[in-house]
Structure 1
Amino acid sequence: MRFYFKIIIFICALGSGVDASAQSDSSVAGLIKQGVELNNQKKYPEAAESYKAALALEPDNVQANYQMAFTLFSAGKNKEALPFIEKASKGNNPKFTAAAYSLMGSIYQSVNQLPNAVNAYKNAIKADGSNQRIYYNLGIAYFKGKLYGEAEQTFATAIELDSSDAGSTRMYALSAFHQNKRAEATFGFCRFLMLEPNTPRSAEVYGNLQNILQGGVLKPEPGYREPRDMSSADPGNKVLTKALAGVANRKYATSADLLAAQLKSIFNAVGNIPVEKYAFWQSLATYFGQLTASNNLPTFARYISQSAKPESAKWLKDNPDKLSALKNWVAVTKPAFKVL
């Protein structure tokens, strides 16, 4: 399984390009500008020399320290970057401070110092709570540390800030799946496949979805301790099991027809789950309930299975009117996510 943290790049307002006069500009601003251009060209040693010269003039310059840290991090010199990003985080501009702490989190995460990464991302959120990428990165740190409950909530917040972010949606579903919250994971996987139906990640997610629909569960990983109120006690699992039992003994012409029937049964069954405790899940449930009522579910089943089922891809090609109807519904109907 691959997942990536997202680097927040803070480019100071120094213009673009380096002309002859800029190259001879020995001011702090000029040296930083030269360094940014060299970094963009992946000339990391040369960029570091420019920032070193700038810092010789102003050791506490937050922009020079940030850019030096970013260049060292880009060059794979992660530990060497830490003293510079520490200084960069002392600035007074909230968005710059957030970017500095986020980069600090990415550096700590790259050397597997996950508690330090979590603290850095939390400081970034304190500085700028509107930056969706910081929540995504924090969620990745939690997930890598097997803190799946915290990861789930963090990715949910990331999705609330950007409902079209497929990466956060995938990780939200995986976080639920790793807690054996199979119904919740089903909704997350379906939403991801709606956003990203035909990529290598789609095939992996479709496999996870099929695992759930066929009654599978993930075995607990070494080092993960399941909270007492999760797993088999989760009410969604009971709802899911009952919903799937209702279609298990019926015959279907195609695997896509079976998938549509399974999803319809699940989507129609979730209304009995308490809203108070599962607000974000209920946002997904409401959304997919609307999809079921729109009569687009048979098309949706083929749309999300096209990465794994050639017959589904062919069906979509042969039925452009139905595919267009689904896409129009998706474009008009937006999920209203709510996080407690």
Structure 2
Amino acid sequence: MKIYLNAMFALCFVSISLTIKAQDAVSVPDLIKQGQELNQQKNYAGAIEKYKSALKLEPENARVNYEMAFALYSSGKGAEGVPYLEKAIKTGTNAQLSAGAYSLLGSIYSGANQFQKSITAYTNGIKADSANQRLYYNLGIAQYRAKQYSNAEQSFISALKLDSSYAASQRMYALVTFHQNKRAEALLGFCRFLMLEPNTAQSAEAFGNLQNILSGGSLKPEPGYKPSPATKAIADNQNKVLAKALSSFMSRRYASPGDLLTTQLKAVFTALGTMPNNKYYFADYFYKLSQTEHLPTFARLISQKAYPENAKWLKENAEKVTALENWMKDNKPVF
């Protein structure tokens, strides 16, 4: 009887031990989920511990390595995440995960002002996922910060081809053309950005740049940037076109700034939209707008941050604003 009881006790002990071990065992997917939840709660240290546990079980798991790098980046330790991203890229078989890893790698290098490494990372990410609009945008930002304005222009154009309504890409496209002194393209770009985002702090800056172009102001070359002869020739030609279109406005008087802006924009949109050659992005689009009754509303919409009377006019003419919005919904820029 004693032997039987001892055997039963031993079996119960083994059964209890196995149950406890089964309860303690957590799968890698569970650890990833717990880490993501902690990361969302900004408990980065807790998330990192979860990923450490997951990596002990599966050190080559690409998702875990990516999540570990993301948690480190979120906690301000981006540089420590680089080896994990390199492993995620090396072992990963999912194109979107690889693109995400390259994107995060690019952000880490950009934050450390290592722009060429950042550019390389984003470029590799695009090779993995060429339909990723955000990668083109991030690449353009890195090129912009490195004063590679011509390359940045092409990156933002690629981003806009994927999403023509993303205001941030539109703003940066306008800025990089402006920095190259390609003022016709910059003017069209700022107009499109202000159409998408007319009433923010960035709108005020964009409208200031637009006014600079319309008034014929000059942009001083930035230190460290030297345009190529081809870029300079393009810029000079654009400036001549604008100067001709705006030549008669200095001596005229208008009832309001909104009236002046409407007339200026109509002249510029007509000049750029009817050019037989050298068509610019958005030139056809804004020429089409200039031939409608919506142009005065558009002029007041994009200038409301600068002129309070235009903000008031927009409130008092809600039906005209709605008509412009409907036109915008029915008409999208074509690249």
Aligned-pair distance for 1:233? 4.6
* Worse-matched range after superposition: 227-236 or 43-52: 227-236
Would the aligned equivalents of 1:23 and 1:34 in 2 still touch at CA under 8 Å? no
Q: Partners of 2:23 and 2:198 in 1: how far apart?
A: 47
Q: Distance in 2 between matches of 1:82 and 1:23?
A: 34
Q: TM-score, structure 1 length as denominator? A: 0.88
Match of 1:11 in 2: none
SS, match of residue 161 in structure 2:
helix
Shifted more, 243-252 versus 194-203: the winner is 243-252
Query: Structure 2: which 5+ runs fail to align?
Result: 1-21
Counterpart Cα distance in 2 of 1:146 and 1:23: 56
For 2:304, the equivalent position in structure 1 comes to 306
CA contact (8 A) 1:173 1:184 kept: yes
- The residue that corresponds to 1:174 in the other structure is 175
Residue of structure 2 in register with 1:154 after alignment: 155
Instruction: Tell me how far 1:273 sits from its aligned partner.
Output: 6.0
Corresponding letter in the other structure for 2:285: Y
Secondary structure at 2:219's aligned position in 1? coil
Show structure 1 runs of 5+ residues with no match: 1-21
Shift of 1:24: 4.8
- Structure 2 match to 1:331: 329
Distance 1:108 1:248, change over 3 A: same
Rounded to whole Å, the distance in 2 between the matches of 1:24 and 1:111 is 41
Q: Give a deviation string over 1:205-235, Cα, whole Å, max 9, x none.
A: 1111111111122211111111112236532
CA distance in 2, matches of 1:108, 1:24: 39
Partner of 1:255: 257
Q: Secondary structure at 2:82's aligned position in 1?
A: helix
Pairs within 5 Å for 1:39-118 = 39-90=39-90, 91-118=92-119
Q: TM-score, normalised by structure 2?
A: 0.90
Q: 1:288: Cα distance to partner?
A: 0.2
- Counterpart of 1:315 in structure 2 is 313
> SS at 1:230's partner residue?
helix
Which of 257, 267, 274 aligns to 2:277? It is 274
* Deviation sequence 1:108-131 (CA, Å, 0-9, x none): 111111111111111111111101
| 1:27-78 Cα deviation digits (max 9, x unpaired) | 2222212111111111001111111111122211101100000000001101
Residue pair 1:55, 1:61 contacting (<8 A) in 2 also:
yes
Post-superposition Cα deviations, 1:262-297, rounded to whole Å, max 9, x if no partner, equal 11111010132624xx5xx2x400100110111211
CA distance in 2, matches of 1:23, 1:42: 27
Amino acid of the structure 2 residue aligned with 1:57: L
User: What is the rounded CA distance, in whole Å, between the counterparts of 1:180 and 1:336 in structure 2?
Assistant: 24
Whether the 8 Å contact between 1:236 and 1:273 is mirrored in structure 2 is no
The 5-angstrom pairing of residues 167-316 of structure 1 reads 167-231=168-232, 233-234=234-235, 235-270=237-272, 271-272=274-275, 274-275=277-278, 281=280, 283-316=281-314
**Separation of aligned partners in 2, 1:255 and 1:25:** 71
* Greater mean deviation of Cα atoms: 175-184 or 240-249: 240-249
Q: How many residues align?
A: 311
2:35 aligned with 1:32: no
Amino acid at match of 1:59: P
Structure 1 counterpart of 2:175, which letter? L
Contact 2:199 2:305 in 1 (8 A): yes
1:23 & 1:85 partners in 2: Cα distance?
31
Query: SS in structure 1 opposite 2:37?
Result: helix
Question: Retained in 1: the 8 A contact 2:182–2:234?
Answer: no
Secondary structure of 1:81's aligned partner: helix
Q: Is the 8 A contact 1:60 1:87 kept in 2?
A: yes
Larger radius of gyration: 2
- The higher relative CO (CA closer than 8 Å, separation ≥ 6) is in 1
Pairing of 1:123-134 with structure 2 (within 5 A): 123-134=124-135
User: Which structure carries more helix by proportion?
Assistant: 2
Task: Give distance in 1, aligned partners of 2:171 and 2:31.
Answer: 41
Whether contact under 8 Å (1:114, 1:141) holds in the other structure is yes
Q: What is the rounded CA distance, in whole Å, between the counterparts of 1:82 and 1:218 in structure 2?
A: 39
Cα separation, 1, equivalents of 2:138 and 2:160: 13
Q: Residue 324 of structure 1: CA displacement? A: 1.7
Q: What is the match of residue 145 of structure 1?
A: 146
| Residue matched to 2:7 | none
Match for 1:243: what amino acid? Answer: A
State the identity as a percent.
Answer: 57
Which stretches of structure 1, 4 residues or longer, exceed 4 Å deviation after superposition? 22-25
